[in-house]
Amino acid sequence: MYTELSTVASQEKLNDHTYLLKVKAQKIAKSVKPGQFCNIKVSETNYPLLRRPFSVCYTEDEFIYFMYDIHGVGTKMLSEKKTGDRLNILGPLGNGFNTEGDYDTAVLVGGGIGAAPFPLLTKKLEGKELITFMGARNSGQVIKWGMKNIVVATDDGSAGFHGNVIECFQSEVQNLENKKIRIFGCGPNPMLKALQKVSMNKYDCQLSMESAMACGFGICQGCPIKKSAGEGYYLVCKDGPVFNSDQIIIG
Ligand code: FES
């Protein structure tokens, strides 16, 4: 884990809501795995006080990309950063996706800004058969940057499959029936809960969980998620954010 004073290289708007920030942060860029995250201090003052967690979206040489939507004051301030501005970044944090092992086809299932870790995961899985299911509210919110072989689902039917991304996945998965698949899911909790249900006792499935994360490395105890076996909780920041789908109970 490093703390780096990084420099903003570029900032781009990808669609109605989504931004892509590129920063120079050499040590983190060289060591991060897909599915890990960083905690960013979005301002040089004490407001907002807490760092914000962001999945690492992609890396290229000494640069890291973060993909994010504006949710509140922290992400609004981040969206106003310009080339040359400085950002204090802590990372890489968390465990990341496990891409090793025996499977034929990687199936990426994402909802909205849950797509954030998929470009780096796609890069890591290069050479492997891969299909990506991407869900969004409407065509203006579809994210495709850095992803491959994409099947789009929109809630209002304005692009691709008309329905949510889990329904879309279920309508296509029979085409993969003779393949050994591994699912990588990332998105809002209700989507991940539905994906967990669909995968139960059927598919190898890893889920990247979202949580409010203040410290990012197991100190504040502010990111618990219930274990499915035995008593107690995992910490999303330290034990995750990626879990096998049978490890956890999603609230
Ligand atoms: S964010 Fe502090 S323990 Fe997880």
Identify the structural domains of the chain with CATH numbers, from first to last: 2-93 (2.40.30.10), 105-208 (3.40.50.80)
Of ligand 1's listed atoms, the one at least distance from the Cα of 221 is 3
- What spatial distance separates the first Cα and last Cα of the chain, rounded to whole Å? 29
Of ligand 1's listed atoms, the one at least distance from the Cα of 53 is 1
- The set of residues, in sequence order, having a beta carbon less than 8 Å from that of 234 and lying 6+ positions away, is 224, 225, 227, 240, 243, 247, 248
Alpha helices (H) in the chain, listed in sequence order: 26-31, 73-79, 118-124, 165-172, 189-199, 236-239
Question: How far, in Å, is the centroid of ligand 1 from the Cα of 214?
Answer: 6
Give the C-alpha separation, 188 to 107, whole Å.
17
Question: How far, in Å, is the centroid of ligand 1 from the Cα of 1?
Answer: 15
- Which single residue is written with the structure tokens 């290289």? 9
Question: Quick one: pLDDT at residue 47?
Answer: 67
Tens-digit pLDDT string for the chain (251 aa):
999 999 999 999 998 789 999 999 999 999 999 999 999 998 777 666 678 899 999 999 999 999 999 988 889 999 999 999 999 999 999 999 999 999 999 999 999 999 999 999 999 999 999 999 999 999 999 999 999 999 999 999 999 999 999 999 999 998 888 899 999 999 999 999 999 999 998 999 999 998 888 888 999 999 999 999 888 999 999 999 999 999 999 98
Question: How far, in Å, is the centroid of ligand 1 from the Cα of 234?
Answer: 10
Give, for ligand 1, the residue of 220, 225, 239 to mutate: max count of ligand atoms closer than 8 Å to Cβ: 220
Query: CA 78, 82, 88 angle in degrees (round to 5)?
Result: 55
Of ligand 1's listed atoms, the one at least distance from the Cα of 212 is 1
User: pTM value?
Assistant: 0.95
Question: Quick one: pLDDT at residue 176?
Answer: 86
Classify the phi-psi angles of 139: left when phi > 0, otherwise alpha if psi is within -120 to 50, otherwise beta: alpha
Question: How far, in Å, is the centroid of ligand 1 from the Cα of 52?
Answer: 12
Question: How far, in Å, is the centroid of ligand 1 from the Cα of 235?
Answer: 7
Give the C-alpha separation, 45 to 65, whole Å.
23
Give the C-alpha separation, 68 to 47, whole Å.
20
